Structures are given as C-alpha cells and as structure tokens.
Amino acid sequence: MRKPLELYIHIPFCAQKCDYCDFLSGRAALSVQRLYVERLIEEIACQSAHYPGYTVVSVFLGGGTPSLLEPKQILDIMNQVKRHFRLAEDAEVTMEANPGTVTMEKLKACREGGINRISIGLQSADDRELKNLGRIHTYDEFLKTFQRVRQAGFANVNIDLMSALPGQTLASWKATLKNVTMLKPEHISAYSLIIEEGTPFYDRYHDHLELLPDENEEREMYYLTKQFLHSHGFERYEISNYAKPGYECRHNTGYWTGTEYLGLGLGASSYIQGFRFCNERDLGAYCRLKMQQEDVDDYLHKDIVRLTEKEKMEEFMFLGMRLMRGVSEREFEKRFGVRMGDVYGNVLDRLLKNRLIVADEPYVRLSEFGIDISNYVLSEFLL
C-alpha cells in the first residue's frame, strides 16, 4: 500500500514584506523569480525520484505570495507535480493569495493546474489596521479578489484574519468578523498577532506594548471569535481554525496528526520516516543548484535530525492536542506500541484533576479552560 505524503511548495516572493512577518520571503526582480521557478520545477523532478511508494494527498503553495507568479509559472509548477508524483484523485491543492495580486487569467491557470482551494490573506477589514500592519492592500481590493475567486469557480476558500493588532478594538474586530462571515467562505483562520524578534514590529512595539490591545482585550477578542463564528455555522476544529462542515483544511490537519510531508523550494522543511530536514535557505545558492543527486544530499537535505521515539511521542501529543477532537489513545498505542497512560499517566491525571483536559474515550482533548492556557498545557507533554 502506498503511504500518504503532503507537499509544501515555497514561493518566497512578496510585493512588499509586511512589518510583522518573519517568514523566509521578500521582494525580488522578475528575472530572479523566473530563475527560481525554473529551479523549483527541476527540484520537483529531482526530489520525486526518492518517493516512489507515496501518494500525494495534499499540496500547499505557500510563501511569500504565490499569487505573484505568472499564470504560466503556476501551471508549469502544478503540471510538474502531476507529472512526477502520484497525486490522489481527491487531493486538496491550496494556493495562498494576497489581495491585489489575483487576475482571472491566474485563477484560470490555477483551475487548469488542479488547484481547488484558495487561501486569501486579508487579516483585517479595517483599512487603518491594514496600514498599521504594513499591508499594501485595502479591504475593497480584498473584496474584488474574493469576487474573482468565486467567479472563477472556487468553492473552497479560506480567509486569514489576525486579532490583537495595533489600534484594534473589540468593536473593530467584531466588524471584521461580521464583514467576512457575510461573504460565506468555507474556512476562516483567525490568529492573534505574535511580535517576532527581528521584524520591524519587534523594534516598534517590544518596548511599547501599551500601543497594542492588552491581555484582557485580547482574551475578549478570542472569546468573541469563537462565539461569533459558531453562530454563523463555523465549527472550530483546531485552536485557531474554523470551518463549515466538511471543509477543514486537510493539509494542516496532516501536520497536526503526523502525516509525512516534503518541502520543495527555498528553505522548505520536510518530515519523512522520522527524519526532519530542510532545504537551502540562501536564494542565490538555491538558484545556482544543478538539481542533481549531490545537490539533494548537500543542499536539499540539510540539518537532518532523526527524531527519537520520545520526541515522536511528544509531537504526537502537543500537535494533536491542538485539534478540538484531541488525540486518540488507540492511535497512540498503535503507533508506539505502548499505552498512553503508561507514558503520560501522571501528566494526564494531573491535567484531568485540574480540569485542563477531558477524557472522551478513546480521545483525550483540551477542555475550554485548557484551551485558554494551551501553551502551558501542551508543554506538559514534553518528556
């Protein structure tokens, strides 16, 4: 039987890097972008030779801004994937898109290439908040992009939102939720802003936290998100992700449940057969690769780490517990050959006693209180 595999394809280019972003992305000349796509297409063929026993169940084109690519580049990438990997007939294939970078021609190329899910980075429906984030689009440009995506025939659309922004209030966050739910997307990802070191936001706000919503306001936004989206038919299936029934993101769910994944492109990470590794992170070096076997060994399989059985158990628990259904005791025993209680008995007893988790046979999941302090609860599963 073939094993399931997820593909992540990194497109590291942006029209302008957002002030809060610490991803491996940035601006580049069109000539550099074209050379990068050529190398990426070569890498897809080169890497595929190592995975003959797998079926690709999901593909995710992320970045950066994949929707910056030319229509032919999008089509060439997807055709190369289908040419060199066995793609499941019902594979979920997602492309991230930013408002103002999407044309009908590009969307037509997406459909032709087999992309069936679009994830749009809105973040806020308030133009002032978007400007504070360093976003270069307006809410009106987002609406036009969303309309084009629907007109192109996409019936599976995610919208990314962000709360606890500079200048944001509970009222403006509720207005964003209201505006977005009126559009009836299938999926909403709603994250709180995290100030990452090394970003302009860190320099701007690290010593001026009074310019951001305080902890109580952030908590109110969190509760409002859950209640408001539930009242509009969105079920939370992961701490920060909500979907209409049947539209949960299968690619991300694979990450949380331990499905093997292969990262393609600059700096992309992989998890295969208990090993973690990543690709070359220097854009110039990546574009100079010949994509031969020695390049795979030296540049595309870098920083190799073999997870111990203990580390695999830890990841099974603290990633799986992010899901509202929790982790399966049966799956734990099947995967590791030992009962969950034999490894985590004391931890489980303590968390149950403090009402931070709930045991719903055969699952163990976070309680509502546990979700509130999930970082603490999840850290308890580190052995």
pLDDT (0 to 100) of residue 365: 97
pLDDT (0 to 100) of residue 332: 97
pLDDT (0 to 100) of residue 288: 94
The Cα 63–Cα 86 span in angstroms is 24
pLDDT (0 to 100) of residue 42: 96
> Is the CB of residue 234 less than 8 Å from the CB of residue 317?
no
- Encode the chain (383 residues) as per-residue pLDDT tens digits: 789 999 999 999 998 888 788 788 888 899 999 999 999 999 999 999 999 999 999 999 999 999 999 999 999 999 999 999 999 999 999 999 999 999 999 999 999 999 999 999 999 999 999 998 889 999 999 999 999 999 999 999 999 999 999 989 999 999 999 999 999 999 999 999 988 888 888 888 877 777 788 889 999 999 999 999 999 999 999 999 999 999 999 999 999 999 999 999 999 999 999 999 999 999 999 999 998 878 777 888 889 999 999 999 999 999 999 999 999 999 999 999 999 999 999 999 999 999 999 998 899 999 999 999 999 999 999 98
Same topology, domains 3-255 and 309-379? Answer is: no
> pTM for this structure?
0.95
pLDDT (0 to 100) of residue 204: 83
State the fold for domain 3-255: TIM Barrel (3.20.20)
pLDDT (0 to 100) of residue 77: 98
pLDDT (0 to 100) of residue 211: 76
pLDDT (0 to 100) of residue 62: 96
CATH 1.10.10 describes domain 309-379 = yes
pLDDT (0 to 100) of residue 273: 95
The Cα 89–Cα 70 span in angstroms is 26
For the chain, the domains span: 3-255, 309-379
pLDDT (0 to 100) of residue 208: 75
